């Protein structure tokens, strides 16, 4: 749980605190399309997208949002040209190094979900260092989904469950929804309340398939490099206006 946010911090945002989402997940789409519209190389869109990451993370930390999960690299993205993948790995490594001081200053906890295979050792090393450095922080939890796929996550969870059944540490009769949740990459994390997607695409792209069962969806035509703090506020305002019944009826 994040530390209590001061009245001065929340007063600049016009949504009652009790109506805010606790966990925001974001599909950061449209970097390449934004760059192409500007007549720039696709990789420049990824570079500009880092600025939107920085702004969104810092604003969530300022507001005291409990958790922010960002879809950084999907397991399907390995199909892209090697030059683009190399640049993405460079950006990821650079982000892990350059943002550490801000992460510590803003009391952010970093966690990463996804498979580690395919990611260069030097990048894994910087990721692990940032995770370790921020482990004792108590503020907003920043979860980065890297080499992540929702179906792959479920496969990995089922494999671990099957192993526990095989070695006798888990009874099949004890396998239920909570058991599966406890074996996902996101074990111990709250499910997202709000899922934001940029660039106007109306799909969830294999992202947190189990966890977003009851998330509110908010889609904007803005490409990710165009997404800034006011847009985050708009998404939260829209979320706050919705009537969430979770399959029941409100009295």
Class of domain 21-149+191-240: alpha beta
Let me know: does 53 contact 230? Beta carbons within 8 Å.
no
Strand partners, 69: 25, 143
Active-site residues, by number, are 29, 77
138 DSSP assignment? -
Q: So what's the pLDDT on residue 8? A: 37
Looking at the chain, the whole-number percentage of residues with pLDDT higher than 90 is: 90
Q: Which helix (H) or strand (E) holds 166?
A: helix 150-166
SS3 state at 209: coil
Extended beta strands in 20-115, E state:
23-27, 67-74, 109-113
Burial class (CB in 10 A: 0-12, 13-18, 19+), 112: buried
Burial class (CB in 10 A: 0-12, 13-18, 19+), 121: exposed
Q: Calculate the CA 117 to chain-centre distance.
A: 19
pLDDT above 90 (res 90): yes
Where are the domains positioned within the chain? Answer: 21-149+191-240
In angstroms, the CA 89 to CA 80 distance is: 13
Q: How confident is the model at residue 249 (pLDDT cuts 50, 70, 90)?
A: low
In angstroms, the CA 21 to CA 236 distance is: 7
Q: How confident is the model at residue 95 (pLDDT cuts 50, 70, 90)?
A: very high
Let me know: does 160 contact 180? Beta carbons within 8 Å.
no
Residue 84 backbone class (left: φ over 0; alpha: ψ -120 to 50; beta: rest): alpha
Report, in this order, helix, strand and coil percent for the chain, each rounded to 5. 45, 15, 40
pLDDT digits (tens, 9 = 90+) for 2-59: 444 443 344 446 889 999 999 999 999 999 999 999 999 999 999 999 999 999 999 9
pTM: 0.92
Q: Calculate the CA 191 to chain-centre distance.
A: 11
Let me know: does 109 contact 140? Beta carbons within 8 Å.
yes
In angstroms, the CA 125 to CA 114 distance is: 15
Report, as an integer, the average pLDDT of 212-232.
97
Structure tokens at 11: 């007063």
Q: So what's the pLDDT on residue 243? A: 87
SS3 state at 59: helix
């Amino acid at each position: 749980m994040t530390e209590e946010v001061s009245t001065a911090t929340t007063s600049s945002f016009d949504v009652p605190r009790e109506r805010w989402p606790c966990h925001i997940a974001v599909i950061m789409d449209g970097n390449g399309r934004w760059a192409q519209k500007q007549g720039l190389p696709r990789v420049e869109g990824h570079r500009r997208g880092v600025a939107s990451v920085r702004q969104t993370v810092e604003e969530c930390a300022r507001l005291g949002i409990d958790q922010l999960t960002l879809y950084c690299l999907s397991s399907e993205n390995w199909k892209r040209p090697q030059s683009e993948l190399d640049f993405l790995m460079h950006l990821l490594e650079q982000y892990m190094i350059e943002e550490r001081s801000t992460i510590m200053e803003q009391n952010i906890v970093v966690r990463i979900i996804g498979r580690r295979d395919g990611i260069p050792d030097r990048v894994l090393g910087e990721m692990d260092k940032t995770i370790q450095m921020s482990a004792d922080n108590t503020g907003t939890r920043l979860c980065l989904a890297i080499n992540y796929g929702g179906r792959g996550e479920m496969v990995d969870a089922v494999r671990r469950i099957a192993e526990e059944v095989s070695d006798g540490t888990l009874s099949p009769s004890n396998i239920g929804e909570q058991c599966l949740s406890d074996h996902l990459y996101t074990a111990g994390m709250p499910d997202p309340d709000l899922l934001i997607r940029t660039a106007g695409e109306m799909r969830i792209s294999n992202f947190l398939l189990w966890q977003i069962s009851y998330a509110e969806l908010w889609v904007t035509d803005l490409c990710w490099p165009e997404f800034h703090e006011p847009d985050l506020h708009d998404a939260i305002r829209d979320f706050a206006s919705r009537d969430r019944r979770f399959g029941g009826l409100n009295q």
